[in-house]
């Protein structure tokens, strides 16, 4: 069977990445989502196994020791990581999988999985980025500036991605991601079966 592909998707605050991805899963319901393994406590409204698997720090560290994580990081005393097994399983079954991860994580995963396709979701302009980051309940200029700097630092890494999707319109951006995923399915490495099928009978 032809293997599936891994799509590494990143984007700064203000890129609208989460909303775009929701739309992508509506367009392509057969694509799997990589559930992160994390150690922070579950929050109200969160469901085990939906976006995160909640584990103890001991469990996380033993996964790390057994090389079961494609990437991980630590944030305010908690660990966040991408388990390797579900990715391997989905791809072996011929399914495509989306992995949402920050620029550092994307770099680490791409190092381990050279065939992964990386996509960076961008805000359409500096002005629109500022507008989106400003309209989040606080008007404190310092907080907004800090968010802007963080976002711009991520955007500086966009050049290292395979594809750039500009999110000016959610549906159009989701369709862009769809084109990338559907075209990946047409890559020759994933079409060996049909070539053999047509040739083997001669």
Our CB check for its own copies shows the closer of 73 and 196 to be: 196
Q: Binders of its own copies among 105-144, rule CB under 8 A? A: 120, 122-126, 129
Of 192, 166, 189, 181, nearest in space to 14 by CA: 166
CB atoms inside a 10 Å sphere around CB 148: 18
* Shortest spacing between CB 190 and its own copies, in angstroms: 8
Q: Determine which residue in the list 42, 61, 92, 164 makes contact with its own copies, applying CB under 8 A.
A: 164
- Which letter does DSSP use for residue 160 in this model? G
Give yes or no for residue 201 binding its own copies (CB under 8 A). Answer: yes
Give yes or no for residue 33 binding its own copies (CB under 8 A). Answer: no
Our CB check for its own copies shows the closer of 97 and 122 to be: 122
* Shortest spacing between CB 71 and its own copies, in angstroms: 21
Our CB check for its own copies shows the closer of 59 and 190 to be: 190
In angstroms, the CA 9 to CA 100 distance is 5
Give yes or no for residue 187 binding its own copies (CB under 8 A). Answer: yes
In angstroms, the CA 52 to CA 156 distance is 28
In angstroms, the CA 38 to CA 79 distance is 6
* Shortest spacing between CB 198 and its own copies, in angstroms: 5
Asked if 21 and 119 touch (Cβ cutoff 8 Å), the reply is no
In angstroms, the CA 26 to CA 40 distance is 29
Q: Determine which residue in the list 92, 143, 152, 171 makes contact with its own copies, applying CB under 8 A.
A: 152
Give yes or no for residue 163 binding its own copies (CB under 8 A). Answer: yes
Beta bridge partners of 83: 69
In angstroms, the CA 80 to CA 22 distance is 21
Binding site for its own copies (CB under 8 A): 120, 122-126, 129, 148-149, 152, 155-156, 158-166, 176, 178-180, 182-184, 186-188, 191-192, 194-195, 197-202
């Amino acid at each position: 069977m032809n293997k599936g592909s891994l799509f590494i998707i990143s984007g700064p605050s203000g890129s609208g990445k989460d909303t775009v991805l929701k739309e992508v899963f509506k367009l392509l319901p057969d694509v799997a989502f990589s559930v992160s393994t994390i150690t922070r406590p579950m929050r109200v409204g969160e469901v085990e196994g939906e976006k995160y698997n909640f584990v103890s720090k001991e469990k996380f560290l033993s996964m790390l020791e057994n090389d079961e994580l494609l990437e991980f990081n630590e944030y305010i005393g908690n660990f966040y990581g991408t388990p390797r097994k579900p990715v391997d399983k989905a791809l072996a079954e011929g399914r495509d999988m989306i992995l949402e991860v920050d620029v550092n994580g994307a770099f680490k995963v791409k190092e381990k999985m050279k065939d992964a396709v990386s996509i960076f979701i961008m805000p359409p302009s500096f002005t629109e980025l500022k507008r989106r980051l400003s309209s989040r309940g606080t008007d404190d200029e310092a907080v907004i500036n800090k968010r802007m700097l963080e976002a711009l630092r991520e955007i500086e890494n966009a050049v290292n991605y395979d594809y750039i999707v500009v999110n000016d319109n959610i549906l159009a951006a989701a369709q862009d991601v769809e084109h990338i995923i559907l075209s990946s399915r047409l890559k020759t490495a994933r079409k060996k079966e049909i070539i053999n099928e047509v040739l083997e009978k001669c």
